[in-house]
Structure formats: structure tokens, C-alpha cells
Amino acid sequence: MTKPQSWEARADEYSLYGFTDLPSVASRGAVVLTHGEGPYVVDVNGRRYLDANSGLWNMVAGFDHKGLAEAAKAQYDRFPGYHAFFGRLSDQTVMLSEKLVEVSPFERGKVFYTNSGSEANDTMVKMLWFLHASEGNPQRRKILTRWNAYHGVTVVSASMTGKPYNEVFGLPLPGFIHLTCPHFWRYGEAGETEEQFTARLVRELEDTIRREGPDTIAGFFAEPVQGAGGVIPPSKGYFQAVLPILRKYGIPMIADEVITGFGRTGNTWGCQTYGFMPDAIISSKNLTAGLFPMGAVILGGDLADRVQAAVEKIEEFPHGFTASGHPVGCAIALKAIDVVMNEGLADNVKRLAPRLEEGLRAIMERSEHIGELRGVGFMWALEAVRDKATRTPFDGSLSVSERIANACTDLGLICRPLGQSIVLCPPFVLTEAQMDEIFDKLERALRKVF
Ligand code: PLP
């Protein structure tokens, strides 16, 4: 057999692509990357792309941050790897847990590490099952989430994810219940105000809890802004209305902040932007500014006390990953938190978010086929519609958002097609000039497609 020659052909020959629209790759070839410069990535042919997708929401400090690379190198030199079991863990792990509780919205707390956001969500579910069983409620196993939620790809986190594509795996598992997505523009009924829409969703939540039996529900998981669902901020007053219902039935509320954590929405946490207090936070992605695969469950004080009491009863929490609390990951995370919070990156998001919104809104208003702009901070989506007045979506096998994203790629701009939307979530290091480059290329791509 002769081996394929080009990078693109070699990529096709040997890769089983995940989450990849094959017709798009077939039409334009895979983009094989070699390095990055700030918010840009560069391919094997020397082409530069402004990555308005931040890799996968995570490369918030750009692709060549020297301080982060130095922190990684220093820790690889000092102590290149260890776990967090059997009463042994690295000094970096201790320092990171201390830091995470300090920057969390909780006054006290405890941290458990994983290698990814999916594993952190799975870990949280296991913790809840373990906790409820230990407290004499082994029947409390059902998990409430929402349609369009994205919580990961492992069997449990995929069951929590509210996307029809998981049906090919025979998921969700029984006991994972999906409530209405809080997207007023798309799911609001004729004549319904946003407040009435929120009230309807909260009634649905309480009716579901009553129907299923409050003592069968283990927890409620929600992203403060649904990310991979297409950047969907909650409808007005949503979390303020949801929290009292959960409290009434003793159901823990878990904020999946894998995307929204560490500054993406303009505050350290999405729950701060939307003014609610969860019982635990799931973190990943920005936690290491994308330089190390790492996730964390951050338990707030009360839940931490209960889980700790459950663990003490059997003298062990039988769960963990080989690389849980990896010292290099922890050293990078410590540096990443410092860089984002103290070297002006989070401030840059706060400062430039209104400019980003304004530029995208102007593009929406000029386009005949962009029906909605939604988002917050540095996470936005433009929704393509055939008819703006009726909000009728486009149809077709290669979706219009894929075609827009492909046209952007041809112009040297990476953005993500999600459903009928184009998503923009640039790295926090973005400058005004780079933002203008996004506006210019996106608008040219829209003109090409429509
Ligand atoms: N939770 C949310 C909100 C996410 O956006 C993601 C990934 O995009 C995950 C969980 C899963 O994280 P990972 O891909 O690291 O498993």
C-alpha cells in the first residue's frame, strides 16, 4: 500500500474524526496545524487563522503564552507527575485546591480533580449517588438537566447532555430527565412574555419533581450559559426562580462552569454574572487555559461537609483517575488563574465585551438572514434563519452554519457552526484590531453564503 503524501490526506487516512462534519472536511480538507501566535493558529502550509473559537473555548490566553509554558516546564523539571491517592499528593495540588476555594463563590469548600469536564460531571453524579445512599436515600438517583445542555461524552455526562445525536448510542440512560431549554427567542410561545416563559419552565421543573417523586432526584445540573447548545443565556429571572424550587425539595444544584468559569462571561463565574449560588461547581477548559487536560469538582462548604461525612462513614471515597491532581496540570492551573485574573485578561473581556456585542449586532442588522444575536462577555452566537420575521430555520444537508464556517475558514477565520448558529468565543487576549478582523471576515463570509 502506498502511503498518502499530503498532510490532509494523511490526516484523512489515519484519523477517525470526532464531532466533525465529514462533508465539510471532504469539500475543503482537514486543517493541519503546527503552531500558534496569540489568538492565531498556523497550518502546515503557513496559513494563519484567527481562532475565534479559542481552540474549544479553552485557549483563553492564546496559543503561545510564555509564562504558562514556563510554569509547565518548571514543574516538568521539578516533579513531572504524581497522583492524589493513598494520602500522597503534590504540593502544587494542595496549593491549587486552596486557590480554587479562594476564588470560588464559596466561603469554604473541597476540590476533587479529573482529566476532563466529562469526567468531572461523572464524578459529581457518583458523589451525589454516594452521598444520598450514605444518608439513607439510595433511591435518590435521577438527574435533572435541560435540552440543549452539553455536559460531556462519557456515558453519564452524555446522558446529561440534551442533544438528539446521543440517540445513536442508545442514550440517555434511564433516569436522566431533560427539561425545556430556557431559550425564549426559540421556545417562547406566541403572546408569551419572557417572564411568563420563565414561570412556565419553573412550573415544569416543579411538576416534574412532584411527578417523579422529590425523594428520587439526586441533583440538578445546569450551565449558567448553555455553550455547545449554541450559546444560550438563561431567560430573565430563570436561576432566581429555579433555585428556591430546588431548595424546597432538597435537590443540590450543580453549576457546570466548564466554559463559563474563569472570566468568559465577564465575571470569574457565570453564576456570579447571573446572580445565583450553586452547591457545587464543575470546572475544566479555562482552568488550565487549555494547556493541560484537567477538570475539577469544587464542592461548596455545606455539600463538602455532607460528602466528607459520607466518606468518613466508610473511611474511603472509592473513586479517582491516575492523573487526578497531576502536579504539572496544577502548576499550569495556578499560573493560568494568575494570568487570567491578575494580568488583565479577565479585565480585557469586561472592557471589550460591549464592543464585541455592538459589532456583531451591527452585522446581524445588516444581514437578511441573521435572526438573533445572543450571548454575554466573550461568548456569542448569531442564529441563521431563512426568514427573519417568522424565524423559520434553513434546511439542507450541509447546514447553512457549516457553510458560513467554511467560508470563514477560507478567509482565515475559525468560528464554530452549532446547529443553525455561528459561535464566536475568542481568546481573552484579543485586541480591538483583531476584533475588527473578526467582524470583517465574518461579514464577508456571510455575503459569500447568502
Ligand atoms: N461541560 C461543558 C459545559 C462543556 O462545554 C464541556 C465541553 O465542551 C464539557 C462539560 C466536557 O468537557 P470535556 O470535553 O473536557 O470532557
What's the CATH code of the domain at 431?
3.90.1150.10
**Do 354 and 323 share a structural domain?**
no
Q: Is 227 in the pocket of ligand 1 (CB under 6 A)?
A: yes
**Do 266 and 365 share a structural domain?**
no
**Do 135 and 26 share a structural domain?**
no
Average pLDDT over every residue of 422-448: 98
3-state DSSP of 266-312 = CCCCHHHHCCCCCCEEEECHHHHCCCCCCEEEEEEHHHHHHHHHHHH
Average pLDDT over every residue of 2-28: 90
The residue whose CA is least distant from atom 1 of ligand 1 is 151
pLDDT at 3: 81
pLDDT of residue 394 exceeding 90, the answer is no
pLDDT of residue 340 exceeding 70, the answer is yes
**Do 409 and 331 share a structural domain?**
no
Whole-number Å distance, alpha carbon 43 to ligand 1 midpoint, is: 25
Q: Give the separation between CA 313 and CA 321, rounded to whole angstroms.
A: 22
Q: What is the dihedral of CA 243, 247, 252, 255, to 10 degrees?
A: 10
Q: Give the separation between CA 181 and CA 187, rounded to whole angstroms.
A: 8
Average pLDDT over every residue of 425-444: 98
Q: Is 284 in the pocket of ligand 1 (CB under 6 A)?
A: yes
Backbone phi, then psi, for 436, in 5-degree steps? -65, -35
Coil/strand/helix, residue 187: helix
Q: Which domain holds residue 116?
A: 69-342
Per the structure, the count of domains in the chain is 2
pLDDT at 182: 98
290: left (phi over 0), alpha (psi -120 to 50) or beta: left
Q: Which residue has the cell 440512560?
A: 173
The answer for residues whose C-beta is within 8 angstroms of residue 182's C-beta and 6 or more apart is 146, 197, 198, 201, 232, 234, 235, 238
Coil/strand/helix, residue 430: coil
Q: Give the separation between CA 30 and CA 83, rounded to whole angstroms.
A: 36
**Do 236 and 169 share a structural domain?**
yes
pLDDT band for 307, please (50, 70, 90 cuts).
very high
Q: Which helix (H) or strand (E) holds 176?
A: strand 176-179
Per-residue pLDDT of 223-239, as tens digits, reads 999 999 999 999 999 99
Strand-pairing partners, residue 256, are 282
Backbone phi, then psi, for 230, in 5-degree steps? 120, 35
pLDDT band for 136, please (50, 70, 90 cuts).
very high
pLDDT of residue 240 exceeding 70, the answer is yes
Q: Do the domain assignments include residue 1?
A: no
Cis peptide before 172 (omega within 30 of 0): yes
**Do 435 and 326 share a structural domain?**
no
55-69, 227-241, 352-366, 389-403 — which is least confidently predicted?
389-403
pLDDT of residue 24 exceeding 90, the answer is no
Whole-number Å distance, alpha carbon 421 to ligand 1 midpoint, is: 19
Backbone phi, then psi, for 51, in 5-degree steps? -90, 90
**Do 292 and 159 share a structural domain?**
yes
**Do 73 and 32 share a structural domain?**
no
pLDDT at 443: 98
**Do 111 and 99 share a structural domain?**
yes
pLDDT of residue 45 exceeding 90, the answer is yes
**Do 258 and 109 share a structural domain?**
yes
Average pLDDT over every residue of 376-403: 90
Q: Do the domain assignments include residue 224?
A: yes
Beta strands in 345-401 (DSSP E): 370-376, 379-384
pLDDT at 283: 98
Q: Do the domain assignments include residue 303?
A: yes
Q: Give the separation between CA 11 and CA 45, rounded to whole angstroms.
A: 14
pLDDT band for 21, please (50, 70, 90 cuts).
confident
Q: Is 258 in the pocket of ligand 1 (CB under 6 A)?
A: yes
CA distances from 111 to 83, 126, 439 (A): 14, 15, 40
Instruction: Check which CATH number belongs to the domain holding 267 and give it.
Output: 3.40.640.10
The residue whose CA is least distant from atom 12 of ligand 1 is 117
C-alpha cell at 187: 421556545
Cα 421 versus chain centre, distance? 16
Q: Which amino acid is at 414?
A: I
Whole-number Å distance, alpha carbon 117 to ligand 1 midpoint, is: 5
Average pLDDT over every residue of 346-355: 98
Backbone phi, then psi, for 5, in 5-degree steps? -95, -50
Per-residue pLDDT of 191-216, as tens digits, reads 999 999 999 999 999 999 999 999 99
Q: Which of 297, 312, 342 is the last residue of a domain?
A: 342
Q: Is 228 in the pocket of ligand 1 (CB under 6 A)?
A: yes
**Do 141 and 60 share a structural domain?**
no
Whole-number Å distance, alpha carbon 313 to ligand 1 midpoint, is: 32
Whole-number Å distance, alpha carbon 27 to ligand 1 midpoint, is: 28
Q: Give the separation between CA 194 and CA 192, rounded to whole angstroms.
A: 7
pLDDT band for 305, please (50, 70, 90 cuts).
very high
Contact 60, 427 (CB under 8 A): yes
Backbone phi, then psi, for 417, in 5-degree steps? -80, 130
Q: Which atom of ligand 1 is nearest to the CA of 295?
A: 15
Average pLDDT over every residue of 51-72: 98
Contact 384, 422 (CB under 8 A): yes
Q: Give the separation between CA 278 and CA 56, rounded to whole angstroms.
A: 25
Q: Do the domain assignments include residue 2?
A: no
- Percentage of the chain beyond pLDDT 90 is 95
Q: Which of 304, 320, 342 is the last residue of a domain?
A: 342
56-65, 289-298, 354-363, 394-403 — which is least confidently predicted?
394-403
By C-alpha distance, which of 185, 405, 404, 151 is closest to 254?
151
Q: Do the domain assignments include residue 144?
A: yes
Coil/strand/helix, residue 211: helix
The residue whose CA is least distant from atom 7 of ligand 1 is 152
Q: Which of 286, 314, 342 is the last residue of a domain?
A: 342
Per-residue pLDDT of 100-118, as tens digits, reads 999 999 999 999 999 999 9
Choosing from 60, 258, 265 the residue with most ligand 1 atoms within 8 A of its CB, the one to mutate for a pocket test is 258
Q: Give the separation between CA 42 and CA 329, rounded to whole angstroms.
A: 25
Q: Is 297 in the pocket of ligand 1 (CB under 6 A)?
A: no
pLDDT at 395: 78
Q: Is 117 in the pocket of ligand 1 (CB under 6 A)?
A: yes
Contact 268, 261 (CB under 8 A): yes
Q: Which atom of ligand 1 is nearest to the CA of 282?
A: 1
CA distances from 433 to 39, 65, 344, 430 (A): 12, 19, 17, 8
Q: Which atom of ligand 1 is nearest to the CA of 257?
A: 3
Whole-number Å distance, alpha carbon 150 to ligand 1 midpoint, is: 7
Q: Do the domain assignments include residue 424?
A: yes
Whole-number Å distance, alpha carbon 282 to ligand 1 midpoint, is: 9
**Do 361 and 334 share a structural domain?**
no
pLDDT band for 397, please (50, 70, 90 cuts).
low
Whole-number Å distance, alpha carbon 192 to ligand 1 midpoint, is: 32
Choosing from 58, 151, 165, 288 the residue with most ligand 1 atoms within 8 A of its CB, the one to mutate for a pocket test is 151
Average pLDDT over every residue of 279-300: 98
Q: Which atom of ligand 1 is nearest to the CA of 228?
A: 5
Q: Give the separation between CA 356 and CA 302, rounded to whole angstroms.
A: 39
Q: Do the domain assignments include residue 399?
A: yes
pLDDT of residue 396 exceeding 80, the answer is no
